[in-house]
């Protein structure tokens, strides 16, 4: 079983310090990368459709590239490099009140836009493939809940959901919308600043917050505590440097173990928490197929890869399979 204690411990170590693994994988092979233009693109689509028919059931692993058309930015460029300053680390959030003020003030603005995001055609295409029994489970690294909103039934939110807030002391869960109202009440001047439209020009990040380095007025920013025990609240998502909950990893491994193929969609796999499933698939001789608009960490182990616009690829797949 993948979920033996040794592998779980390795996973925890890599979750806590993913930079170690990335340092060992700075150069990724380019084998299996297809030139998805013209005739080659049509052949790639046909090959993907044939593969979807042949290898069922399928587990899908998705990343930030799936949500860009919904207005949520992705983390990395075509080559897998950061597009923005790396997100806040878990240790920094938990250790410093100033870091938490920085996070929640940015999130207070970003949530207005993030929560208004809606599923795009790619989310609906994957849900359609599930409805026709081609996909039996979907593991997402995204925290936007858009797969579920599109009707996907078997979703494992590997990194949690930004729509929830958790107390780091007692574990109490509450809706993010409730936290937004409490933040408004604790910071009325800041709330008026948001409601006036003065923050509309700030760029949203992939984490659902905004870049706020130059905005004044954070010295007296107030964060409401847990209403149950007074503890520190954080979004119920896995921060960089934080381990994915073991039971969630086990659930994802179990889904993979019962699959005939792993299909990666819209992820560079640069973070080990997602990349681990490609490694596990290879160990179990489960083929890995990748559809992504740029380089990934698993290019060298994929059976084949389509490097093209995700939305056009899956629009063509739905049409070719006649499952709309």
- 136 is an active site residue: no
Query: Measured between alpha carbons, how far is 34 from 104 in angstroms, rounded to an integer?
Result: 42
The DSSP annotation for 226-251 comes to -TTT---EEEEE--BTSPPPHHHHHH
Could you tell me which residues come within 8 angstroms of residue 159 by beta carbon, excluding any fewer than 6 positions away? 140, 141, 142, 143, 237, 238, 244, 273
User: What would the two tokens of residue 110 be?
Assistant: 């970003």
Give the residue from 255, 302, 290, 249 showing the smallest Cα distance to 3.
249
- Identified catalytic residue from 32, 123, 147, 159: 159
What's the pLDDT at 232? 98
Domains of the chain: 5-72+120-159+243-321 (3.40.50.1220), 90-116+163-237 (no CATH)
Query: Measured between alpha carbons, how far is 65 from 278 in angstroms, rounded to an integer?
Result: 18
Query: Measured between alpha carbons, how far is 65 from 123 in angstroms, rounded to an integer?
Result: 11
User: What would the two tokens of residue 88 be?
Assistant: 């806040």
Query: Measured between alpha carbons, how far is 2 from 10 in angstroms, rounded to an integer?
Result: 11
User: What would the two tokens of residue 20 be?
Assistant: 């170690």
Could you tell me which residues come within 8 angstroms of residue 103 by beta carbon, excluding any fewer than 6 positions away? 88, 93, 209
How are beta strands 233-237 and 160-167 bridged, if at all?
Answer: antiparallel
What's the pLDDT at 299? 96
Q: Which long-range contacts (CB under 8 A, 24 or more apart) does 36-39 make?
A: 36/306, 36/307, 36/308, 36/313
What's the pLDDT at 311? 94
159: helix, coil or strand? Answer: coil
Query: 39 and 117 in contact (C-beta within 8 Å)?
Result: no
For residues 167-188, one letter each, b for 16 or more C-beta atoms within 10 angstroms of the residue's C-beta and e for the rest, the string is: beeeeeebebeebbebbeeebe
Query: 70 and 120 in contact (C-beta within 8 Å)?
Result: yes
Query: Measured between alpha carbons, how far is 218 from 221 in angstroms, rounded to an integer?
Result: 5
Query: Measured between alpha carbons, how far is 126 from 231 in angstroms, rounded to an integer?
Result: 39
Residue 260 phi, psi (nearest 5): -100, -15
Query: 272 and 241 in contact (C-beta within 8 Å)?
Result: no
Extract the residue ranges of the chain whose pLDDT is less than 70: 1-40, 74-85, 195-219
Residue 93 phi, psi (nearest 5): -60, -45
What's the pLDDT at 280? 97
């Amino acid at each position: 079983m993948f979920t033996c204690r040794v592998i779980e411990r390795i996973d925890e170590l890599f979750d806590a310090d993913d930079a170690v693994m990335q340092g060992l994988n700075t150069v990724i092979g380019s084998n299996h990368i297809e030139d998805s233009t013209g005739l080659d693109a049509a052949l790639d689509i046909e090959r993907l459709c044939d593969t979807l028919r042949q290898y069922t059931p399928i587990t899908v692993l998705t990343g930030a590239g799936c949500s860009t058309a919904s207005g949520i930015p992705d983390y990395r460029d075509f080559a897998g490099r950061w597009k923005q300053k790396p997100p806040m680390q878990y240790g920094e959030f938990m250790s410093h009140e100033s870091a938490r003020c920085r996070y929640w003030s940015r999130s207070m603005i970003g949530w207005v836009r993030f929560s208004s995001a809606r599923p795009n055609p790619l989310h609906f295409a994957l849900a359609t493939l599930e409805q026709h029994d081609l996909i039996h489970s979907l593991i997402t690294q995204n925290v936007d809940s858009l797969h579920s909103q599109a009707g996907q039934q078997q979703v494992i939110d590997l990194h949690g959901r930004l729509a929830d807030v958790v107390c780091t002391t007692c574990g109490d869960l509450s809706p993010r919308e409730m936290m937004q109202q409490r933040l408004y009440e604790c910071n009325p001047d800041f709330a008026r600043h948001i409601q006036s439209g003065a923050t509309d020009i700030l760029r949203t990040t992939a984490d659902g917050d905004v870049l706020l380095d130059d905005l004044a007025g954070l010295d007296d920013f107030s964060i409401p505590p847990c209403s149950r025990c007074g503890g520190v609240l954080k979004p119920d998502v896995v921060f960089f440097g934080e381990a994915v909950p073991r039971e969630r990893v086990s659930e994802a491994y179990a889904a993979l173990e019962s699959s005939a193929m792993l299909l990666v969609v819209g992820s560079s796999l640069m973070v080990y928490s997602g990349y681990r499933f490609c490694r596990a698939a290879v160990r179990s001789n489960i083929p890995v197929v990748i559809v992504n608009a740029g380089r990934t960490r698993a290019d060298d182990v994929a059976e084949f890869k389509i490097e093209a616009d995700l939305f056009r690829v899956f629009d063509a797949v739905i049409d070719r399979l006649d499952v709309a």
